[in-house]
Amino acid sequence: MTSPTLRVCALYPELMNIYADRGNIAVLRARCEWRGLGFELAPSSLGDPLDGAAHDLFYIGGGQDRDQVAVAADMAQTKRGALHVARERGAVVLAVCGGYQLLGHSYQLGEKELPGVGLVDLRTVRADGPRLIGNCAIEADLGGGPRIVAGFENHGGRTHLGPGERPLGRVLAGHGNNGEDGFEGVHADNVIGTYLHGPLLPKNVWLADRLIELALGVELEPLAGDEVEAAAHASARRAAGA
């Protein structure tokens, strides 16, 4: 049997890449290649078409408010339908911070309301209060029991999930979605949004492996020799105090 190939689409890679979030893609690539799985990466940026059936994992990183203005309009116009097709077929959508904020109904930025793609029921509002910044750790269960995701958050927006939505995790340390309700991120089917940078996956390779499993519908054996990755995870947890 030939090994499957993880087909990744990076949305707006040049615009949505605060905190070197493209490191998440590097980790997905490495963990596929180390296992002998294929890996393909295609970008889709402003004005580009998007085929919701052509990729197993759609990725969007964090971004500045000013870049989110153009990205939000483009996503709503040219990518919304494809992202809904992707969700329906069980593809993974992983969105970090600025990307996460655009998965829902809207991101209210002062007078301006940026559209979301309506994949999940959430709204984000740019509050007048301080930015929510710092190391963060959450407990999340993506099947197989609760595990810790650790990273770094820096956002002015506060995200509120609709009543039927499940958060990605419970905040152990840090602010999370809005600094108030103790929840972080969103997890709906295989759509995952989170405020955690780091980048996220180098510090949490268990999560990278789980996303590959969900995207390909396979079960992966653990990789031998993950000492550096385990140390990165431990250090991120320590930084958050969890």
Binds ligand GLN by CB under 6 A, chosen from 45, 78, 108, 154: 154
Binds ligand GLN by CB under 6 A, chosen from 20, 22, 40, 65: 65
Binds ligand GLN by CB under 6 A, chosen from 27, 97, 171, 240: 97
52 or 169: CB nearest ligand GLN = 169
What is the closest distance, in whole angstroms, from the C-beta atom of residue 127 to ligand GLN in the complex?
A: 9
Binding flag, residue 155, ligand GLN (CB under 6 A): yes
Binds ligand GLN by CB under 6 A, chosen from 13, 23, 52, 98: 98
Q: Helix, strand, coil: what percent of the chain each, to 5?
A: 30, 30, 40
Binding flag, residue 14, ligand GLN (CB under 6 A): no
Active site residue 197: yes
List Cα–Cα distances, 97 to 53, 154, 162, 230, in angstroms: 25, 8, 18, 24
Binding flag, residue 112, ligand GLN (CB under 6 A): no
Which run of H or of E encompasses 228?
helix 227-240
Cα–Cα distance, 206 to 27 (Å, whole number): 11
Choose among 77, 27, 38: nearest CA to 211: 27
Contact predicate 31/208, CB 8 Å: yes
147 or 160: CB nearest ligand GLN = 160
Active site residue 97: yes
Binding flag, residue 171, ligand GLN (CB under 6 A): no
Select the span of 22-30, 152-160, 204-212, 214-222 touching ligand GLN (CB under 6 A). Answer: 152-160
What is the closest distance, in whole angstroms, from the C-beta atom of residue 125 to ligand GLN in the complex?
A: 10
Binding flag, residue 179, ligand GLN (CB under 6 A): no
Contacting residues for 218 by C-beta, under 8 A, at least 6 apart: 4, 212
Q: Collapsing DSSP states into helix, strand and coil, what is residue 216?
A: helix
What is the distance in angstroms between the CA of the first residue and the CA of the last residue of the chain? 42
Phi, psi at 10, each rounded to 5°: -95, 120
Binding flag, residue 151, ligand GLN (CB under 6 A): no
109 or 172: CB nearest ligand GLN = 109
Which run of H or of E encompasses 55?
none
* ∠ Cα 72 87 112 (to 5°): 20
Binding flag, residue 103, ligand GLN (CB under 6 A): no
156 or 182: CB nearest ligand GLN = 156
Active site residues: 97, 197
Residues that bind ligand GLN (CB under 6 A): 18, 62-65, 68, 97-98, 154-157
